[in-house]
Amino acid sequence: MKLTLKIWRQKDANDKGRFVTYQVDDVSPDMSFLEMLDVLNESLIHKGEDPVAFDHDCREGICGMCSLFINGKPHGPEQTTTCQLHMRSFKDGDTIVIEPWRAKPFPVVKDLVVDRSAFDRIIQAGGYISVNTGSAQDANNIPIPKDKASEAFDAATCIGCGACVAACKNASAMLFVAAKVSHLALLPQGDPERAIRVSKMVAQMDAEGFGACTNTGACEAECPKGISVKNIARLNREFLRAKFIEEVDKPLEELAEGK
Amino acid sequence: MSWIAETLTSSVGRKVIMALTGFFLILFIIVHLSGNLQLLLNDGGEQFNKYAHFMGHNPLIQTVSILNFTFILLHVITSIILTRRNSEARPVKYHVSRMQNSSTWASRNMGFLGSIIFIFLVVHLANFWFKMKFGGVPMVEYDGVQYKDLFTVVKEAFQQEWIVIVYVVAMVALGYHLSHGFMSAFRTFGLHHRKYNGFIKGLGIAFSIAVAIGYAIIPVIIYFRY
Amino acid sequence: MSTVATDIKLDAKIPEGPLAEKWEKHKFNIKLVNPANKRKYDIIVVGTGLAGASAAATLAELGYNVKAFCFQDSPRRAHSIAAQGGINAAKNYQGDGDSIFRLFYDTIKGGDYRSREANVYRLAQVSVNIIDQAVAQGVPFAREYGGLLANRSFGGAQVSRTFYAKGQTGQQLLLGAYSALMRQVAAGKVQLFPRTELLDVVLVDGKARGIVARNLITGKIESHSAHAVVLATGGYGNVFYLSTNAMGSNGSAAWRAYKKGALFANPCFTQIHPTCIPVSGHYQSKLTLMSESLRNDGRVWVPKTVEDAEKIRRGELNPNDLPEDRRDYYLERKYPSFGNLVPRDVASRNAKYVCDEGRGVGPTGLAVFLDFRDAIKRDGRAVIEAKYGNLFDMYMRITGENPYEVPMKIYPAVHYTMGGLWVDYNLMTTIPGLYAIGECNFSDHGANRLGASALMQGLADGYFILPYTIGDYLARMPYDKVPTTHPAFKDAEREVENRIKKLLSINGKRTVDEFHRELGKIMWDYCGMSRNAEGLTKAREMVVKLREEFWSDLKMVGVNEEFNQTLEKALRVADFFELAELMIIDALHRNESCGGHFREEYQTPDGEALRNDEEYAYVAAWQYTGDGNEPVLHKEPLVFENVKLTQRSYK
């Protein structure tokens, strides 16, 4: 297969950036998309040119490090991660446009690499259960209904790749945040911090500059792990419950500040 | 910031405002439509004019109407804030975007549809509400009581082809706006369950179509009838 | 010219007393750091996988100041996330006869008697706490209808002791540890350094007191000082270029520690996993593992004759059309009682043999069939789909072939490295203050790791062992900090800068990947599933020669002061070149076959691994003595007081 690649090149965060067109020949349909980029990069290095920077690590669809907006879709035409996308999804002679994730909270580091540490900061705001090592009781002391555990698991399979943000017309991180809020809210272990967790995580999401959710559902449609938008509904429910129903004598905002 | 301000200015809180005001406006749409359908009665507008008189003089209705205007403004202002925020969240746009299969057209264009509806509202209010309040409406007498003959104003307006077209287009926009907004409002309130999702979605679409047709046939029928 | 003192006395510091009491006793005997004083100590943790994240979080909870480093953009990306099968724990929730002793025994035996009894017993002891901790963190393990935790039997174990979360156990456990880590970042107790890679360990007065790292975005070389350094940087399987490891997984941290004086133990012990998706072409960048469970229903075979195999390779013959009598179900033939369920190393080695004979399938001839035809006929497609649906989908996505209709093709791939930095019972290397945990150390798996034990060891080290033992060391340390302006830091920075400068100044013709691929092929061919003295000797020469070419003919682009992925790779591959030689030296010296190390000269008449317990029941710990010098071997004898050494047999 012969392909034309139109790739976003940007030297660093301060560079304006531009598209550069490359030709790649000898593309095998069995190659993964990233292997196709490897081949391009090898040829660039041989020519003494700067290879295209892109994030990747496990290349088996679980670490969430690979990204890329390929021909107008996050992770390309299939509902999977870019590392699991294979060239048989394209045709000989195709032109492929490759862009980085676009969102203000995901600034470009170089070329197709973006900084997703905003996601880490959202988790830091409350995406955990406060339990110190060694203080846990026996694992079977609290039975959890199988369905609930599996619902929590489904939400917990989020790989934090950011495709939901990339797909959303508002660059909203709601699906990512909702997946974590749901995962922990569904489990009895997560119950004690339920209210404060959703409050703080939503506040951090806003502070990072992500857009708001318009319930278009594009995030679910493009999520490589198929995280459901029902989690967004659950986040909304948790949020309203936290703000209007939760019975604590102090507003959560004060609790969050440690007052 | 007080807890309520913090709640309502968060992205989720603003969506709650959109949903709450949206729900109220849906109620308004239902009431307004059922009233306006009286325009189609073949009684020279008597019942409609009496209804308009009642609506214009009942203190409860007047209070609700202030609420209604407030909610429209709140809906519009919040949407402007959200749209600005959403657009700022992606300062560099994509060169190619093929997201059309991932979401409905209406859901991606709520702002655009809303803008059409808003422009329509201005025209609509100028045409009828403004005249009703500040004069320019002829009088008519039923059973010895004087009424403003709003019916005639409507009838004359809908003789103009362009106004009919503007109304029909706007109602199509309203239909699309509702087709997403109805379902979306439920989700914003956290109401989402396999058991009734299909029902909400179906009801939303049926409602949107009914509203769009219900409103759009009024100018069309009047145009052809007189 | 060696100026290094080589008269080290290896002391594993195994506590006295009966096996079952050693850890309890030790915990009592080690010194504690007063809670108020913990905040006076800084600890560096490199790597944020299961071991690193759990250690960093726990140390911070205890009150230490922690600096956590990872080369990925977020700690959550560490390759522990890719572990599929599960995690073992001696909970005996199923009441099927499991116990701490049984898990200990299985692990020692599975490791072919090349691990320390005391360490493994402790691992089995704390395994139960790991499950409690993970569940409390919200790890959504699989459950039964009654709401209690589900277990399965894994990797041929005779009890059901494996806890799992579908095929994503590693992901869920890592996200649990990651969330604990994030909580400590929020609390200000952990300072996070993502996209930062360790390039050297810094010693002051013989003690590990910090690291030199490169900021991968700006290229800035930065020093970080601490009272102790913990390496949790995983294994070195990527020496082979193709492996199931992540692209970025590397051995540099361990290798730098080795060059600073830490001993490297059993480097030749690597695990090859039999069920991976075969290589499809020269561009192949990594290999994908498919769960071993496939062998429960799939039958492994190749054509009986080379001619048939060639026809299948050329696509002239559909494997489904090959009659039964022209197929060789070689595992069932050779191992009638275990059949397709023989252990990983046996299955892997036999796949290699049939391919070496020219009977392999697939375009490259390096694959064997894993056929579900009979299972589908027997149980129906629906049953097979329910069991393996997601694996079949993954296979289909990668290969474009439908395994319900065409037999699946598999081939072994490098998966895990049992070898690593030598550590004592406290998980400290031979450099005081330098610890190694998780896959990075050698401690618990001997010559072969059991399925579902890697997650267990990583978390045992990070949550429950290191946080105790490190206190014993710190309690003896003064509070004063070494400034990063100290000459030791400045020297290390200079050395790192020179290494980078040297790499960037080579104006050759071949790319890093080309060299790495070639190195990997040498290692795979001569130091892989099956080894012999002749091949290893040859391989060593080849590696040395290729390494010289690497340093003279490497094509580099760009500069240090930028986001330069080519430079990152070159630094890692430069270290792999040195590590590869040590692996070969170790494989050559170990004149026996055990676990993942199969020396063709040492096999039973049936072709099975032949251990030599008389001469080789020891840990081979290698000491660096300078570039160009032979490393010096130190032996830690392995004493077995609680298990009887037996020969494995799967006939």
Distances (CA, A) of A215 to A170, B190, B199, C354: 10, 11, 17, 56
B105-109, C177-181, C336-340: which range is least confident on average?
C336-340
CB proximity list for A212: less than 8 A, separation 6 or greater: A170, A172, A174, B11, B12, B14, B15, B82, B85, B86
Is B25 a domain residue?
A: yes
Mean pLDDT score, C575-595: 97
Check whether C107 has a pLDDT greater than 70.
Answer: yes
Q: Inter-axis angle of helices A174-185 and A146-156, to 10 degrees?
A: 150
Q: For residue B50, is pLDDT > 50?
A: yes
Q: Give the chain A residue whose CA is nearest to the CA of C78.
A: A63
Q: Which of A214, A205, A166 is nearest to B86 (CA)?
A: A214
Chains B and C touch (3+ CB pairs under 8 A): no
Please compute, for residue A74, the number of CA atoms within 13 A of its CA located in the half-sphere on the CB side: 27
> What is the mean predicted confidence (pLDDT) over C90-108?
96
pLDDT band at B133 (very low <50, low <70, confident <90, very high): confident
Q: Please provide residue C477's backbone torsions phi and psi, each rounded to the nearest 5 degrees.
A: -95, 140
- What is the reported pLDDT for A256? 59
Instruction: Please provide the CATH number assigned to the domain covering C487-626.
Output: 1.20.58.100
* Residue C516 pLDDT class (50, 70, 90 cuts): very high
Q: How far is A212 from chain C (nearest CA, A)?
A: 24
Closest of A152, A158, A153 to residue A186, by C-alpha: A152
Task: Confirm if A166 and A101 have CB atoms less than 8 A apart.
Answer: yes
**Rounded Cα distance, C419 and C344, in Å:** 17
What backbone phi and psi angles, to 5 degrees, belong to C209?
A: -125, 10
The predicted pLDDT at position C6 comes to 83
B148 touches chain A (CB under 8 A): no
Say if B27 falls within a structural domain.
Answer: yes
Residue numbers of B between 193 and 222 with CB closer than 8 Å to A: 193
* Measured distance CA(C523)–CA(A61) in Å, rounded: 27
Q: Which CATH architecture has domain C273-414?
A: Alpha-Beta Complex (3.90)
CA–CA distance, C118 with C594 (Å, rounded to integer): 20
C432 — contact with chain A (CB < 8 Å)? no
Nearest CA in chain A to B19: A214
Which residue, among A225, A89, A29, has the nearest Cα to C390 in the 3D structure? Answer: A225
The pLDDT of residue C534: 98
d(CA C59, CA C437): 14
Give the CATH number of domain A3-110: 3.10.20.30
Which residue, C239, C264, C199, C247, is CA-closest to C580? C239
Known catalytic residues of C?
Answer: 344
**Mean pLDDT value of segment B73-95:** 97
CA–CA dist C546, C525 (Å, integer): 15
Distance from CA of A132 to the nearest CA of B (A): 30
Quote the minimal CA–CA distance from C93 to chain A in Å: 9
User: B6 pLDDT band (50/70/90 cuts)?
Assistant: confident
> Could you give phi then psi for residue A148, rounded to 5 degrees?
-65, -45
Mean pLDDT of C241-262: 97
Mutate to test the interface with C, among A57, A65, A78 (most CBs of C within 10 A): A57
On the 0-12 / 13-18 / 19+ scale of CB atoms within 10 A, A159 is buried
Please report, as a single letter, which amino acid is at residue C451: G
Domain boundaries, chain C: 273-414, 487-626
Contacting chains of B (3 CB pairs or more, <8 Å) are A
Look up the CATH number of domain A117-256. Answer: 1.10.1060.10
Q: At what angle do helices B46-57 and B11-36 cross, to 10 degrees?
A: 140
Helix extents (H) in B37-149:
46-57, 59-88, 105-108, 110-124, 130-134
> CATH number for the domain including B138?
1.20.1300.10
Cβ contact (<8 Å) for C179 and A129? yes
d(CA C152, CA C451): 12
Number of domain units in chain B: 1
Given the DSSP bridges, would you call strands A113-114 and C190-193 parallel, antiparallel or unpaired?
Answer: unpaired
Q: Which domain covers residue B160, as residue numbers?
A: 3-89+108-225
Q: Rounded distance, CA C116 to CA C110, Å?
A: 13
- pLDDT band at residue B132, thresholds of 50, 70 and 90? confident
Structure tokens at B5: 């301000």
Residue of chain A nearest C131, judged by CA positions = A139
Query: Looking at residue C100, what DSSP letter applies?
Result: H
Inter-residue contact A236 to B12 (CB < 8 Å): yes
Confidence at C406, pLDDT banded by 50, 70, 90 = very high
Q: Is the dihedral of CA C516, C518, C524, C526 positive or negative?
A: negative
Alpha-carbon distance C397 to A32, whole Å?
A: 10
Rounded average pLDDT over C276-298 = 90
Mean residue pLDDT of chain C comes to 95
Indicate the SS3 state at residue C494. Answer: helix
The residue of chain B nearest to residue A205, with distances taken between CA atoms, is: B11
Q: DSSP 3-state assignment of B195?
A: coil
User: Phi and psi (nearest 5°) for C243?
Assistant: -160, 180
Positions of chain A with pLDDT under 50: 259
pLDDT confidence of residue C1: 42
| Residue that is written with structure tokens 């195709």 in the block | A94
C interface mutation test: which of A24, A62, A177 has the most C CBs within 10 A? A62
Query: How many residues are given for chain B?
Result: 226
Q: Do A240 and B85 touch (CB under 8 A)?
A: no
Q: Tokens 């003089």 sit at which residue?
A: B57
Q: Is the pLDDT of residue C473 over 70?
A: yes
Question: Residues 93-132, chain B: which have Cβ within 8 Å of A?
Answer: 93-99, 101-104, 107-108, 110
Q: In this structure, are residues C478 and C67 in contact, taking their beta carbons and an 8 Å threshold?
A: no
CA distances from B167 to A19, A78, B180, C619 (A): 45, 42, 20, 86
pLDDT digits (tens, 9 = 90+) for C430-456: 999 999 999 999 999 999 998 899 999
- What DSSP element (H or E) covers C35? helix C35-38
User: Can you tell me the distance from the alpha carbon of C619 to that of C267, in angstroms, rounded to the nearest whole number?
Assistant: 10
Bridge partners (DSSP) listed for residue C344 = none
Distance of CA A55 to the CA centre of its chain: 13
Report residue C167's pLDDT band, with 50, 70 and 90 as the boundaries.
confident
Judged by CB atoms closer than 8 Å, whether chains meet at C136 and A135 is answered as yes
Three-state helix/strand/coil letters over chain A: CCEEEEEEECCCCCCCCEEEEEEECCCCCCCEHHHHHHHHHHHHHHCCCCCCCCCCCCCCCCCCCCCCEECCEECCCCCCCHHHCEHHHCCCCCEEEEECCCCCCCCEEECCEECCHHHHHHHHHHCCCCCCCCCCCCCCCCCCCHHHHHHHHHHHCCCCCCHHHHHCCCCECHHHHHHHHHHHHCCHHHHHHHHHHHHHHHHHHHHHCCECCCCCCHHHHHCCCCCCCHHHHHHHHHHHHHHHHCCCCCCHHHHHCCC
Residue ranges per domain, chain A? 3-110, 117-256
CA C515 → CA B21, C280, C288, C355, C543, distances in Å? 65, 20, 22, 25, 10
Q: What is the pLDDT of residue B37?
A: 95
